[in-house]
A and B are shown apart, each in its own frame.
Chain A
Amino acid sequence: MLSHGSGGSMMHNLIKDLFFNYFNNPLLNLANDSAIFPSFKGLTAFTTDSFVVDPIFFPGGDIGKLAVCGTINDLVAVGAQPYCLSAGFIIEEGFPLNDLETIVSSMATEAAKAGIFIVTGDTKVVEKGKCDKLFINTSGIGVLPGDKTRQPNPESIGAGDQIIITGCIGDHGMAVMAARNHLEGTINIQSDCAPLNLLLHGITENPGGIKCMRDPTRGGVASSLCELVKDKEFGITIHEDRIPVKPAVKGFCDMLGFDPLYVANEGKMLIFANKEKSEDIVARLKSHPLGREACCIGEVNRENHGKVVMKTAIGGTRVVGMLSGDQLPRIC
């Protein structure tokens, strides 16, 4: 158990040992106040995200895996190749040390899988009740190969572009929801949490044709599309019968009155692509385990400016609006 104040330097060392042991890499091991590395050729992407998911362990992942993948995916969404992360921990006094070790170990596993280093970090222990178990912040730096004109850019979206999703939607949000209600045993849904650089590496160059990417986390696919189309001179049409949703996710959403379109994903990317290249992109995505269910779910058109319209599976039409408030609280 972590005990605030009582451990002093002993506690500090214990935590430090834990992090150095698991995150072990040359930049971190120098133990400087800052990590130092050479500057990159081309453009650099920089992003940050904080993770407060409740519960911290859920089917298919934990807060640590999420903290690594979430920030990696933010880098991937702008076409960057992730390079390194920082990790800041705010730990509630009394938090079990073995749980912390499990989480740190899963961060190390994901980082290794994704081929990135966690090069700097920080730990604070706060009094009981001042935070809920464990909060993690990660920031990430990525490298954009080539010049700016070859990078995804939402301004280049235009009528005819195809909208691709890299797999089934709503898995993460509903896995967390099941865990929160102690239904993990009854409802078999795993979070899709995964580092997407594995799936998307190189795809911006070959076959190319990617106009824009969005990581549909909180608010789901619907909110990402609504944000992109707002105040624009184009509209978006999506087709309900093409959107991949696992039966268990659909069923659990029905039970709780949720719409999977608004449920968070942590291992999926929405891709706007040139019509001519879209089939190649889908084929390439499908050849990777993380993209088996990739498909084209809609297109950009000149109708319904600023709106997302859905053709429902039964042949009807409706507008897809922004989600207000939280459909699910604290899922990431």
Chain B
Amino acid sequence: MYPFEQYHSKALCQALVDQIHLMADRPLRFMEVCGGHTMAVRKYGIPSLLPDSIMLLSGPGCPVCVTSSLFIDQAIHLAAYDRMTICTFGDLLRVQGTNGSLEKAKTEGKDIRVVLSGLDALEIARQQPEKKIVLLGIGFETTAPTTAATILTARKEKISNFFVLSAHKLMPPAMEAIISEGIPINGYICPGHVTTITGIAMYKKIVENFGIGCVVSGFEPLDLLQTILMLVRQVKANQPKVEIQYSRAVKPEGNPKAMAIIEEVFETVDEWWRGLGILKASGLKPRDSFQDFDASEVFSLPVYEISEPEACICGDILKGLKKPQDCMLYGKNCTPDNPVGACMVSSEGSCQTHYNYAGIN
């Protein structure tokens, strides 16, 4: 049997939908901040089941989408070094830098390989000691521990030809930035997998400071519908709080071991997010004691002030201020085949998800 069958029950989904319809007596805007949620919401056709008064927004939850063109330019610059191999997750290949993408650099003969985990990159480093291997570290608290563990393994095995170019980011600063800017939302659908690592403490600040409820959600249709119902109930009772819907995976304390590994290897730095600008202490960079593995310390890299692509409204889309179809580039100049803005690049980006699952109009 398909292991998630029980979370796809039509009868149970319908019961939740009925309750949501009964309870939703005012316009409500809920934001998810996880690419997996963006995809699931569209894939299962959840918006078509909700009352018109409930709007689901996609926040900055896709790590590829918030990555700067500078990071891509730096990766392409590194690829030009002698005997250099760049290891990346597939989604990053098509993100445009100033002069093209990693995919383009690959077709020009640079050694750029798609890996499924940091450990794959480390294996290449073991097998090809004559080459330099740079892993592009990308993702939130979910993937940061695996990059950290890979660096720790490399140190333990004294592998000296393995490096990480880190664009790892932390989720809470972005969630706070969105509300601080006064963007009207009534609740956060919080990222299930990020929270398995971090635990829920980080959301308490959002509830206390901004009076917005946070429900940690799973990824199956019943999970998402139940989360929406929980948020609607919170708003109606005027009792914003942190709740865990995804209790089969998320513990309140998270995964302290994984958090400790992040803490051991990385320190926080101010980081630029597409659409949000520079957010304080929102990025992760290897600590000085791990400098030997930090590609940004070992190699000289280009640095410049980052700007958004012209006419692209990815920023407003990530903040939930605009929808993909509000963009003049959407579906015309900007498509999954030829993405201008970052939200169109990843299969988990708001624009590409909308394009694939909701059509052009």
Residues of A near any B CB (own CB < 8 A) = 181, 241, 247, 250-251, 254, 257, 259, 307, 310-321, 323-325
Query: Which residue of chain B has the shortest Cβ distance to A304 in the bound complex?
Result: B359
Q: Is B182's CB within 8 Å of the partner chain A?
A: no
Minimum CB–CB distance from A301 to chain B (whole Å) comes to 16
Q: Is the CB of A314 within 8 A of B10?
A: yes
Query: Which residue of chain B has the shortest Cβ distance to A319 in the bound complex?
Result: B359
Q: Which B residues are in CB contact (< 8 Å) with A312? A: 43-45, 221
Minimum CB–CB distance from B127 to chain A (whole Å) comes to 15
Q: Mark B5-44, 1 if CB is under 8 A from A, else 0.
A: 0001110011001000000000000000000100100111
**C-alpha gap A316/B10 in the complex (Å):** 10
Among B47, B221, B337, the residue within 8 A (CB) of A325 is B337
Enumerate the 3 nearest inter-chain pairs by beta-carbon distance, A residue then B residue, closest first. A316-B45, A324-B336, A319-B359
**C-alpha gap A313/B9 in the complex (Å):** 8
Minimum CB–CB distance from B288 to chain A (whole Å) comes to 36
Q: Is the CB of A315 within 8 A of B49?
A: yes
Count A-B contacts at CB 8 Å.
Answer: 72
Q: Given A247-B2, A251-B3, A315-B10 in contact, is the A310-B337 Cβ separation under 8 Å?
A: no
Q: Is the CB of B337 within 8 A of A318?
A: no
Interface size on B, residues (CB 8 A): 34
Q: Which A residues are in CB contact (< 8 Å) with B45? A: 310-312, 314-318
5 A-B contacts (beta carbon < 8 Å) = A247-B1, A316-B45, A316-B46, A316-B47, A324-B335
Main SS of the interface on chain B?
Answer: helix
Q: Which B residues are in CB contact (< 8 Å) with A247? A: 1-3
Q: Is B196's CB within 8 Å of the partner chain A?
A: no
Q: Is the CB of B358 within 8 A of A314?
A: no
**C-alpha gap A201/B323 in the complex (Å):** 50
Minimum CB–CB distance from A312 to chain B (whole Å) comes to 4
Q: Which B residues are in CB contact (< 8 Å) with A318? A: 42-45, 48, 357-358
Q: Which B residues are in CB contact (< 8 Å) with A241? A: 10
Minimum CB–CB distance from A267 to chain B (whole Å) comes to 21
New A-B contacts (4) at CB < 8 Å, excluding given A313-B221, A315-B45, A323-B356? A254-B4, A314-B10, A318-B44, A321-B359
Q: Is B355's CB within 8 Å of the partner chain A?
A: yes
Q: Is B94's CB within 8 Å of the partner chain A?
A: yes
Query: Which residue of chain A has the shortest Cβ distance to B339 in the bound complex?
Result: A324
Q: Is the CB of B356 within 8 A of A321?
A: yes
Among A181, A250, A314, A325, the residue within 8 A (CB) of B336 is A325
Minimum CB–CB distance from B338 to chain A (whole Å) comes to 9
**C-alpha gap A325/B356 in the complex (Å):** 12
Query: Which residue of chain A has the shortest Cβ distance to B335 in the bound complex?
Result: A324
Minimum CB–CB distance from A252 to chain B (whole Å) comes to 11
Q: Which A residues are in CB contact (< 8 Å) with B14? A: 314-315
**C-alpha gap A35/B11 in the complex (Å):** 62
Most B-side CB within 10 Å, residue of A250, A259, A319: A319
Query: Which residue of chain A has the shortest Cβ distance to B46 in the bound complex?
Result: A316
**C-alpha gap A241/B2 in the complex (Å):** 13
Within 8 A of A (CB), among B315-361: 335-337, 347-348, 352, 355-359
Residues of B near any A CB (own CB < 8 A) = 1-4, 8-10, 13-14, 17, 36, 39, 42-49, 94, 116, 221, 335-337, 347-348, 352, 355-359
Minimum CB–CB distance from A173 to chain B (whole Å) comes to 15
Query: Which residue of chain B has the shortest Cβ distance to A310 in the bound complex?
Result: B45
Q: Which B residues are in CB contact (< 8 Å) with A320? A: 357
Q: Which A residues are in CB contact (< 8 Å) with B10? A: 241, 313-315
Among A181, A313, A319, A323, the residue within 8 A (CB) of B358 is A319
**C-alpha gap A161/B218 in the complex (Å):** 38
**C-alpha gap A324/B94 in the complex (Å):** 12
Q: Which B residues are in CB contact (< 8 Å) with A257? A: 36, 39, 347-348
Query: Which residue of chain A has the shortest Cβ distance to B91 in the bound complex?
Result: A257
Q: Given A257-B347, A316-B44 in contact, is the A325-B357 Cβ separation under 8 Å?
A: no
Q: Is the CB of A325 within 8 A of B44?
A: no
Q: Is the CB of B2 within 8 A of A251?
A: yes
Q: Is the CB of B2 within 8 A of A314?
A: no
Most B-side CB within 10 Å, residue of A250, A307, A311, A314: A314
Q: Which A residues are in CB contact (< 8 Å) with B47? A: 316
**C-alpha gap A188/B39 in the complex (Å):** 26
Minimum CB–CB distance from B87 to chain A (whole Å) comes to 15
Q: Given A257-B39, A257-B347 in contact, is the A316-B357 Cβ separation under 8 Å?
A: no
Minimum CB–CB distance from B137 to chain A (whole Å) comes to 19
Q: Which A residues are in CB contact (< 8 Å) with B337? A: 324-325
Q: Which B residues are in CB contact (< 8 Å) with A325? A: 94, 336-337
Q: Given A247-B2, A313-B8, A324-B335 in contact, is the A319-B357 Cβ separation under 8 Å?
A: yes
**C-alpha gap A291/B337 in the complex (Å):** 35
Minimum CB–CB distance from A175 to chain B (whole Å) comes to 17
Q: Which A residues are in CB contact (< 8 Å) with B356? A: 321, 323
Q: Is the CB of A321 within 8 A of B4?
A: no
Minimum CB–CB distance from A293 to chain B (whole Å) comes to 15
Q: Which A residues are in CB contact (< 8 Å) with B347? A: 257
Minimum CB–CB distance from B352 to chain A (whole Å) comes to 8
Query: Which residue of chain A has the shortest Cβ distance to B42 in the bound complex?
Result: A318
Most A-side CB within 10 Å, residue of B3, B9, B356: B356
**C-alpha gap A311/B356 in the complex (Å):** 15
Query: Which residue of chain A has the shortest Cβ distance to B344 in the bound complex?
Result: A324
Minimum CB–CB distance from A314 to chain B (whole Å) comes to 4
Q: Which A residues are in CB contact (< 8 Å) with B2? A: 247, 250-251
Minimum CB–CB distance from A146 to chain B (whole Å) comes to 39
**C-alpha gap A316/B42 in the complex (Å):** 10
Among B13, B49, B116, the residue within 8 A (CB) of A181 is B116
Q: Which A residues are in CB contact (< 8 Å) with B43? A: 259, 312, 318
